């Protein structure tokens, strides 16, 4: 018996061309899903889809999740190609470290818009198709900072946006549970990707810096995009069919401290 089977499920993954999104796309493809890879950079989406097509049917959908019109077009492209939508992975986002006293309205928008507004737009426009599937699933990628708050003020706006994603997740889970739509969130801790290269800036020995950062985690290692992808697979699969409104920490034990 095969578990975590996504055979022929149609999945939209925002931020799907790189990092956590691309690792999730690869894993879902191996489980039989058909994919819509959405991202702001058309070239990156095209490269990702070219690689994924060796595993499954995939569509590149250049999308700016901050634009409602762009998100509407993304969902329409998915339905035009595949005729249905079963799973939405809201992974697109940004990170910018700045203290509140120094922050401007532009700094606020720079983080809140792609993270929280983008998740809202994607949920809003995917919702009719997900409900029509009869067993839709949404997995929102939040952050442990949306719950824990972090140890420094430089991520306060990011934390606020990610906390909003958790609130949206819970509210949608309650509202649409009777329609068999499951909505869950994943809260990763530090995952070194292209979104946070500054963590290694000024450190000539990247491996030594990674070991230093990992020392704060009970499991004594940093997370990988694959760690988050496997959590997303579980929440998107039938094996988690009585789980909704949950916040799953993928953080090496950090929030247990």
pLDDT, tens only, 95-148: 888 889 999 999 999 999 999 999 999 999 999 999 999 999 999 999 999 998
Task: Give per-residue pLDDT as tens, 38-75.
Answer: 999 999 999 999 999 999 999 999 999 999 999 999 99
Residue 211 lies in a domain: no
Radius of gyration (C-alpha) of the chain in whole angstroms: 18
- Answer left, alpha or beta for residue 251, where phi above 0 means left and psi between -120 and 50 means alpha: alpha
- Answer yes or no: is 68 within a domain: yes
Q: In CATH, what number is assigned to the domain containing residue 120?
A: 3.40.50.720
Structural domain contains residue 208: no
> Could you list the residue range(s) of the whole structural domain that residue 52 is in?
10-188+223-248
pLDDT at 54 (0 to 100): 96
Residue 91 confidence (pLDDT) above 90: yes
The reply to whether the predicted model has a pTM over 0.85 is yes
Question: Tokens 């931020």, residue?
Answer: 15
Query: Using one digit for the tens of pLDDT, what is the confidence trace for 168-177?
Result: 999 999 999 9
Residue 117 is predicted with a pLDDT of 98
d(CA 34, CA 11): 6
Residue 199 domain-assigned (yes or no): no
List residues with catalytic annotation: 158
> Does any domain span residue 214?
no
Q: What is the largest CA-CA distance in the chain?
A: 56
How many independent structural domains does the chain possess?
1
Q: What does the pLDDT look like over 185-231, one tens digit per residue?
A: 999 998 987 776 677 777 888 889 889 989 999 999 999 999 999 99
For residue 56, tell me if it sits in a domain. Answer: yes
In angstroms, rounded to a whole number, what is the distance separating the alpha carbons of residues 184 and 242?
Answer: 11
Q: Is residue 30 part of a domain?
A: yes
């Amino acid at each position: 018996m095969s578990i975590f089977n996504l055979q022929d499920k149609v999945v939209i993954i925002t931020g799907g061309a790189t990092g956590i999104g691309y690792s999730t796309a690869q894993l879902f493809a191996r489980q039989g899903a058909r994919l819509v890879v959405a991202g702001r950079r058309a070239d990156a989406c095209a490269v990702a889809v070219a690689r994924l097509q060796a595993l499954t049917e995939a569509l590149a959908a250049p999308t700016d999740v901050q634009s409602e019109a762009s998100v509407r077009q993304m969902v329409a492209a998915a339905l035009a190609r595949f005729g249905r939508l079963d799973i939405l992975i809201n992974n697109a986002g940004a990170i910018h470290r700045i203290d509140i006293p120094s922050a401007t309205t532009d700094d606020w928008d720079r983080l809140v818009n792609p993270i929280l507004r983008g998740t809202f737009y994607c949920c809003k426009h995917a919702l009719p198709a997900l409900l029509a599937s009869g067993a839709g699933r949404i997995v929102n990628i939040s952050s442990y900072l949306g719950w824990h708050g972090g140890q420094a003020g430089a991520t306060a706006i990011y934390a606020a946006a990610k906390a909003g994603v958790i609130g949206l997740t819970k509210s949608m889970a309650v509202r649409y549970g009777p329609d068999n739509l499951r909505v869950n969130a994943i809260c990763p801790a530090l995952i070194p990707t292209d979104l946070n290269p500054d963590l290694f800036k000024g450190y000539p020995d990247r491996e030594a810096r990674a070991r230093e950062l990992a020392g704060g985690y009970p499991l004594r290692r940093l997370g990988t995009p694959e760690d988050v992808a496997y959590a997303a697979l579980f929440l998107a699969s039938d094996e988690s069919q009585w789980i909704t409104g949950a916040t799953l920490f993928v953080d090496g034990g950090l929030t247990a401290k």
